Amino acid sequence: MRSLPSTLIALGLLALLAVPFFPQLVYSVFVMKTLCFVLFACAFNLLLGHTGILSFGHAAFFGTGAYVTGLLIKTYGIPTELGILAGGLVAAMLGTLVGALAIRRSGIYLAMITLALSQLVYFFFLQAPFTGAEDGLQRIPRGTFLGLIDLGNNTALYYVVVGIVGTGLWLIWRTVNSPFGHVLRAIREHEPRAISLGYPVARYKVLVFTLSAGLSGIAGSLKAIIFQLAALHDVHWHTSGDVILMTLLGGMSTVFGPAVGAALVSSLNHYLDPFGAWVTVITGLVFMTCVLTFRQGVVGQLSQALRSRRSSTPAAKVDSRPRTHHQ
Amino acid sequence: MDIFGIPIQALLGQLMLGIVNGSFYAVLSLGLAIIFGVLKIVNFAHGAFFMLGAFTAFLLAQYMGAGYWLTLAVAPLAVALFGMLFEFLFLRRLYGLDPIYGLLLTFSLVLVLEGGFRVAFGSSGQPFATPELLRGTLNLGFMVLPLYRGFVIVSALLLCLATWFIIERTPLGASLRAATERSELTQAFGINVPRLVTLTYGVGVGLAAFAGVLAAPIFHVNPSMGSSLVIIIFAVVVIGGLGSIMGAIVTGLGLGVVEGLTRVFYSEFSSTIVFLVMVLVLLLRPAGLFGREEG
């Protein structure tokens, strides 16, 4: 069945692949950066939207990915693809640790714990001798991909980034629609019942934390390669806040809503950059509006509108969390 | 005289700094605990209100020539009013939803306030003079105490104790505690709970702003002075638990002292020790030192 959303997705994919051919229209580095945040936000949403866990420290994983990849490639001359993989792996291990600690509490306490732990990571990267402190790791060589493709070329890098982000998103989609994903939703909806059904809830939570952190790390690694820079801003709580905003704005109850949110927020950051600190103010105002008036996000709101138009009884569905991925 | 190879003067100096920081932690986590108790919202903007207090004092002194004592009285009130307005207009709409939304809304307020002040005043610090009366030092025999620091410690602790007394020992506090436990029932007894809630938010915010004014002469007044602090306060609150007023005060003060001592012995850990203690507490006593298990 060809539905409107799948047509839109196909069109979007085509547009994405065509980006390097229209440099006068869009700047491909900007699109690459946006793609990193798309992966980051969708990975983050595995926790927030699908398991009902708010992590306020996801920048720790994003930044760890960036720093590990940067360090390995720059200092130890490791091939780029292995560097990215290592960035993801170390971030995933950190995710296991943070997850195991954070899930000892729940709800807002968990949010506060993850924020505090990410601040710990922030100070680590600020003080560690190999991270260049305030300057960050600069001039990280891009190298080649699998020894074949020269990543110094923006177009080549662009398709590699599209490929990796695409694989990451596919993995997220598979996870959400797998039996594992169903258990995660059961935990979100009614944790005590999931426990009484015999699911090892704590282990599931740590596992999803690990997965989410690993993919966030890969997003950070890619960012480090694209800009050849891993900096403190990547581990700063501002970045943790940004990814929450992206997810909320796009719609946390959908699989790819956060992708739309990431595109919106990173455009906002990109085009408002000349206005300096005003960006923070505007981001804050958008955030506020989002929390107060449309908590389902852009995609959540849209898909609800679509569904109520399609169904004969308009108010049939009074569900606050539309699940588009069930179709 | 040395202790573990560290001159006792240096040790006492850092200990005193630790107590000063601890007093700020105590006042801030106390406010956070009060707000959480009644509103069930974690006020991320607590650090921003701390900053707002310091800035209001700075502006009053700079443009209206207000003396220190006047700003210490006026700035917290002004900020409290602003906080109550925020509660009344926005925060109120989120009651009954997942408390995460309250955290996010107050977080967005942080971005607006911090960004706004950075636009207006830049990122660098503004100096704030110590009041004339408290410029000297006091020789305690074993150490020399700058008067202002002593004043900060004493007034912060008095404020904490006064707040504790009001909540635990007065009729107003009794209705507040009643609203915390069973808000609908309290409403049924004819107590105006929504007004009480607004008032509580105002008091919590006012406490943060008061701490901000106290901090102004010690730290430079700058837009981001509150945000790094609020993350530490979150860790303090995770360690102490949000359930107990006294717990918040004791934990805040204690962690300030621990931080001060760490600065003497392992200075590279001084900015992270609070978070490390949090990790330890999570491992050993997940519910927090004074915590009741949250629902």
Q: How far is B256 from B262, CA to CA, in rounded Å? A: 10
pLDDT at residue A326, as a whole number: 37
Contact A58, A171 (CB under 8 A): no
**Mean pLDDT, chain B, integer:** 89
ipTM: 0.90
- B115–A104 CB contact, under 8 Å: no
Q: In which residue are the tokens 């946006």 written?
A: A34
> What are the structural domain ranges in chain B?
12-123+133-284
* Among B110, B111, B119, B124, the residue to mutate for chain A (most A Cβ within 10 A): B111
Q: How far is A107 from chain B (nearest CA, A)?
A: 7
Q: Three-state SS across chain A?
A: CCCHHHHHHHHHHHHHHHHHHCCCCCCHHHHHHHHHHHHHHHHHHHHHHHHCCCCCCCHHHHHHHHHHHHHHHHHHCCCHHHHHHHHHHHHHHHHHHHHHHHCCCCHHHHHHHHHHHHHHHHHHHHHCCCCCHHHCECCCCCCEECCCEECCCHHHHHHHHHHHHHHHHHHHHHHHCCHHHHHHHHHHHCHHHHHHCCCCHHHHHHHHHHHHHHHHHHHHHHHHHHHCCECHHHHCHHHHHHHHHHHHHHCCCCCCHHHHHHHHHHHHHHHHHHHCCHHHHHHHHHHHHHHHHCCCHHHHHHHHHHHHHHCCCCCCCCCCCCCHHHC
Give the model's confidence band at B240: pLDDT under 50 very low, under 70 low, under 90 confident, else very high: confident
Asked if B271 has any chain A CB less than 8 Å from its own CB, the reply is: yes
The one-letter code for the residue type at B35 is I
Residue of A94, A112, A239 for testing the chain B interface, max B β-carbons within 10 Å: A112
Residue B245, pLDDT score: 84
B175 has a chain A CB within 8 A of its CB? no
Residue A144: strand pairing partners: A150
CB contact under 8 A, A54 and B103: yes
CA distance A74 to chain B (A): 26
Give ∠ CA A131-A69-B276 in degrees, rounded to 5.
Answer: 55
Q: How far is B112 from chain A (nearest CA, A)?
A: 4
**pLDDT at position B71, please?**
93
Residue A21 Cα, gap to closest chain B Cα (Å): 37
Of A220, A270, A240, A238, nearest in space to A29 by CA? A270
Q: Write down the pLDDT at residue A146.
A: 86
pTM confidence score: 0.91
Between B185 and A147, the more confident residue is B185
How far apart, in whole angstroms, are the C-alpha atoms of residue B61 and residue B217? 12
Q: Which regions in chain A score pLDDT beneath 50? A: 1, 313-327
Judge whether A54 and A47 are in contact, CB under 8 Å.
yes
- For CA atoms A101, A105, A111, A116, the dihedral sign is negative
Lowest-confidence segment of A279-293, B26-40, B129-143 by average pLDDT: B129-143
User: The tokens of A292 are what?
Assistant: 């107060």
Residues in chain B closer than 8 A to A123 (CB atoms): 271-272, 275
Q: Do B108 and A115 touch (CB under 8 A)?
A: no
CATH class of the domain comprising B12-123+133-284:
mainly alpha
Range from A177-191, A309-323, B126-140, B182-196 carrying the lowest mean pLDDT: A309-323
Q: What is the pLDDT of residue A327?
A: 31
Could you tell me which of A236, A249, A181, A210 has the C-alpha nearest to residue A96?
A210
Q: What is the DSSP letter of B126?
A: B
Q: Give the distance from residue B4's alpha carbon to the nearest chain A alpha carbon, in angstroms.
A: 26
User: For B114, which of A101, A280, A287 is closest by C-beta distance?
Assistant: A280
Q: How far is CA B70 from CA A107, A291, B77, B146, in A?
A: 41, 37, 11, 22
Query: Can you give the pLDDT at residue B2?
Result: 67
Q: CA of B151, closest CA in chain A: separation in Å?
A: 30
Whether the CB of B1 is below 8 Å from some CB of chain A: the reply is no
One-letter amino acid identity for B178?
A
Q: Average of pLDDT values for B187-197?
A: 90
Mutation choice for B interface testing from A101, A108, A242 by most B CBs within 10 A: A108
* C-beta atoms of A281 and B271 within 8 A: no
More confident residue, A318 or B185: B185
- Which of A117, A237, A284 is facing B109, going by the closest CB pair? A284
Which pLDDT score is estimated for A3?
A: 67
Phi, psi of A106 (to 5 degrees): -135, 175
CA nearest to A240 within chain B: B107
Tell me whether B64 touches chain A (CB under 8 Å).
no
Using pLDDT thresholds of 50, 70 and 90, give the confidence band for residue B291.
low
C-alpha A17/C-alpha B152 separation (Å) is: 61
Average pLDDT over residues B24-47: 92
Output the pLDDT for position B180.
Answer: 83
Residues of chain B contacting A108 with CB distance shorter than 8 Å: 42, 99-100, 103
